[in-house]
Structure 1
């Protein structure tokens, strides 16, 4: 796991996975996250399409990180189509044509603009619009809810308040964490069942919403047709995801048509560990961003009796 580096200068080290996953108030924080996540995307076909599959999710996240690190005077930092494809490949998305299609889709909905590099017209540069950046600030505020709830002493107000400077600094600092993020994503194999399917993340959050709202957190109502209509999916697709989850022993279905579902201990634990891993990476990015934004001490002024004036 990543080390905190020189973050002790800010008075603390990053949170641990266990500090989040085993926190006595984790389920309350998890429900707050779930409610915020679904409020952000619920019944909004335009935004739901951002999460229809893992490649779109990754393209969105990588784009905001590369956009924040773009420096026109340093070619190696350029947010270009080629660099985005390289980062996507690191996460296993190796089809350049598919990436081109996703970029075209983002351009069509007004999230990204494309231009040629002024000194090399062979290079296509990307720039995110204010619309996409505003949405990412909302998304980031949701992503930090669990940390903000369980560790309020750590001061995530800038994220909660959608501060553009804090948002940009966190995205800049997230670049160095991408290799670790790719490795940890590959290790979260339980979530690949949902993450690799169109709309799988929406189905997963709806499942936890139902469980966390039930009296005992166990068997809860979950009608395939209702979930499908809510997120613009087919009923057969939702049923297939849930049947695969049952075969993997993540859940147990009760009644015809999935009228009720029970989340089994394996999925509860995998979910807690997954959010713990994500929280740790986000906290490291936050600490590094805080160091970046911290006022730099000014050099002391030279005492008046030490100032020498050259004589004519």
Structure 2
């Protein structure tokens, strides 16, 4: 029987004993250092995967990011002495498909692409050669260490008095393994962030959308006029390695549904309040699941 999103585990409702207290979205938004941490997060996300063209193209879609994390989580929780617990193409498909981010064919294509660029190996299972095991490579593990540090760093900026983010920031592999095991118990929470009911939030989860909006938000903040940003579609397209048409469509789509001001190219324009507010709230939603 196929699973639905309702079957995904939620850590906040089923947290095991000993898990640190989580910072809620409301606590993060109300923190006096929120703006500093938010801008740090935006800069980190803009710069992610900049040096690796193949990886950048792989990770610019949200579904591929989710699958990347699922593979690492399922691998971390496997029993080394029990091959039946090792992640396979079939078991990963069962976990990933309830997110509704991909078709079965796209799922297979993404795994094939990950194998081509050296993130995973796909090999027959020793106990049943019909099963195809998915094994993260050292390259994937190293990229995950960077990913965890990037997502923990804004919390370290937000809560400088805490030192429990240091293992992630120092790329500690034992911490990585523990974090990935815990992540498998919160797929339901991740689904709620990935599948928002707000149409503006849904737009922000499109290909490279957050990076594009972050450029405009940072430009507005750094110009001293937080309501206006002057950036051409082409300049943002070049800096996010996408097309001018994609940037234009992304910025004008919410306005076409009555959710904000249309950005016009080549002159200072009002920053779309609805998009900016959604991105403002998406930041704590993205990181509040970290202890």
TM (norm. structure 2) is 0.86
Superposition deviation, residue 146 in structure 1:
2.2
Task: Give the C-alpha shift of residue 180 in structure 1.
Answer: 2.5
Corresponding position: 1:220 with 2:229: yes
Match of residue 157 from structure 1: 166
Deviation (angstroms), 1:258: 5.3
> Map of 1:14-93 to 2, 5 A cutoff?
14-42=22-50, 44-75=52-83, 77-93=85-101
CA distance in 2, matches of 1:158, 1:275: 22
Which consecutive residues of structure 2, in runs of 5 or more, have no partner in the other structure? 1-9
Say which is worse superposed, 109-118 or 24-33, in terms of deviation: 24-33
1:272 corresponds to 2:280: yes
Counterpart residue number, 2:6: none
| Cα pair distance change 1:90/1:137, threshold 3 Å | same
Whether contact under 8 Å (1:249, 1:264) holds in the other structure is no
Larger radius of gyration: 1
Take 2:123 and 2:156, find their aligned partners in 1: how far apart are those partners? 38
- Alpha-carbon displacement from aligned partner over 1:263-292 (angstroms, at most 9, x marks no partner): 344334323332223322111xxxxxxxxx
Of the three residues 188, 191, 196, the one matched with 1:187 is 196
Task: Report how many aligned residue pairs link the two structures.
Answer: 279
For residues 218-249 of structure 1, what are the alpha-carbon distances to aligned partners after superposition, in whole Å with 9 as ceiling and x for unaligned?
Answer: 20122101111223322112111111133345
Query: What is the aligned counterpart of 2:153 among 128, 142, 145?
Result: 145
CA RMSD of aligned residues (A): 2.4
Distance 1:113 1:3, change over 3 A: same
Conserved? CA contact 1:194–1:200, under 8 Å: yes
- Using the alignment, how far apart are the partners of 1:103 and 1:250 within structure 2? 36
Q: Distance in 2 between matches of 1:262 and 1:21?
A: 23
> Counterpart of 1:295?
none
- Secondary structure (helix, strand or coil) at the match of 1:152 reads coil
1:91-138 Cα shifts (integer Å, max 9, x gaps): 013522111110111111111111111001111001111111111111
SS state of the match for residue 113, structure 1? Answer: strand
Consecutive unaligned residues in structure 1, runs of 5 or more: 284-312
Q: Distance in 2 between matches of 1:103 and 1:64?
A: 13
Partners of 1:45 and 1:232 within 8 A in 2 = no
Distance 1:52 1:94 in 2: 14
Point out the structure with the larger helix share.
Answer: 1
Structure 2 equivalent of residue 292 of structure 1: none
Deviations 1:27-78 (A, max 9, x none): 1111111112222233653232133322222222222222222224335532
- The 5 A counterparts of 1:232-311 are 232-248=241-257, 251-253=260-262, 255=264, 257=265, 259-283=267-291
Q: Distance in 1 between matches of 2:135 and 2:219?
A: 39
CA contact (8 A) 2:124 2:132 kept: yes
